[in-house]
Chains A and B, each alone.
Chain A
């Protein structure tokens, strides 16, 4: 079976090389000095501010609604439960451009809710709120899916024990389920955040690319591509660094593996 081992190793090497090579090339194109200089340019800085602001708001919305939703989906079963989970996961496989069109057809001026909101004096499309909605739509499944798995991984016996110790449902959630699911939640949170940072297709269709308003880092890269390629590369490197830092940070969240508590 030696040839088979060899095959596995070669396949793995090809995968790693193919995924890593473009990233290496990116870093070879910019020196740290160039990076800082490019970021000093107005376009990049504006885009960074727009991105951080919209991502932060979007992420708060994702965590705020996604965590309780995932807890419910993980701890209760009802008719249509699996259909609900499937619907939540749908945006994962939806092309982002389609997501943008779909959002426009709800919130756009001619959309489902557009007229009503027009009367109320609210306009969402092509504003910063549209960026936030696009990011939430595309990124939230990454969090909710992972959060369901994390909550399902918490030993039901511990939740029941908490209830016999006179803990209210809120206390069971906040003192037992939440800390024990922390690692999985953090992973999902980071995945969703990184996915949100890189959001492009839905944003450009639903929010447009207006500098200082809706132009996020990915949109800025696209915008700079034919004007200042070096700047585009510098912004790309910045995105890679932020993403890598976040994925590394997850490892610091404590994990409560159920198998470390077997009796001895």
Chain B
């Protein structure tokens, strides 16, 4: 360990119906998540690395090994690439037992993997009788049993029961923690990406927009798209200097807010839901921005409640929401500080 740098090299272009997928990055050891909306080319990226999709040009390889090189006319088939892939629907073989699924690509490590993924008691079951989380573990064990150089996971959380999401996510993080090879995970859910990966690359229309740690992306999103993917409210507006180091922004839809960011002209106003407080009566305080509007919706996620009023979504504890008696239709006030209001020029 130490001196050797494990590195996946990706640099290719591939035509899709509406746009070209053009990506270039290196992945050393560790886990990177690619986050982006569906249809942004995330799955295409994984399929191209695995050899299931053929790019127009570029180079894909691992260390000094070339898997695809358009100039040198190299295009190794998937079975020669040593890529472990976990498919979105897991693609388990229905006619084989858990054990035979795991041993399909590598008999030698099957026992070790069954043990590591806690599947020993299930090894004689057929995939049909497994839960979503168990299927995910079989898919992971099967991919890792081939002793791959890189691990690719396509929307590992997407086909799981939302009720078990948190539990399975914690379990997956646990299991991926033990994986020593470079791992690439794609997801449309920023929360999943942030929970599982130390680095997130945001992707849209086949291009990488911004790469950073989850907190970097939240603190300094490059544009409104990245901000909204990270879960922020993104509201269009027009900014001008208002003195005292403040900018005044007239929002589309008539409200007016202030920000400590300097900006002039068309901007995206970015506010995170957890920075927005909701009250019924206007209280005197240091908070500068207040939007008074009827509540459009109020949705409970366990101990958190998301309230949408006017152009903003606020996230508060379900207890506070109940205490205030917030419900659809009643008028309330969303308040947030000028210091928590980011302006990104458009």
Contacts and interface: CB of A to CB of B under 8 A. Distances in A.
Interface of A: 155, 157-158, 160-168, 175-176, 179-180, 254, 256, 258, 260-261, 263-264
Contacts of B52: 160, 163-164
Given A180-B95, A254-B95, A263 B146 contact: no
B41 interface: no
B95 A166 contact: no
A160 B152 CA distance: 14
Interface of B: 50-52, 77-85, 87, 89, 91-95, 104-106, 127-128, 131-132, 135, 142-143, 146, 159-161
A57 to B, nearest CB: 30
Nearest to B82: A166
A164 B94 contact: no
Given A166-B146, A263-B159, A161 B85 contact: yes
Contacts of A158: 91, 93
| Majority secondary structure, A binding face | helix
| Majority secondary structure, B binding face | loop
B104 to A, nearest CB: 5
Given A160-B52, A180-B94, A256-B94, 16 more contacts: A158-B91, A161-B87, A162-B104, A163-B77, A164-B52, A164-B81, A164-B143, A165-B142, A166-B79, A166-B80, A166-B105, A166-B106, A166-B146, A167-B105, A261-B92, A264-B132
Contacts of A263: 89, 132, 135, 159-161
27 contacts: A157-B89, A157-B91, A158-B91, A160-B52, A160-B78, A160-B91, A161-B91, A161-B93, A163-B79, A164-B50, A164-B51, A164-B81, A164-B84, A165-B79, A165-B106, A165-B143, A165-B146, A166-B105, A166-B106, A166-B146, A168-B79, A175-B104, A254-B95, A261-B92, A263-B132, A263-B159, A264-B131
B43 to A, nearest CB: 11
Contact of B127 (A163, A166, A176, A261): A261
A165 B94 contact: no
Nearest to A257: B94
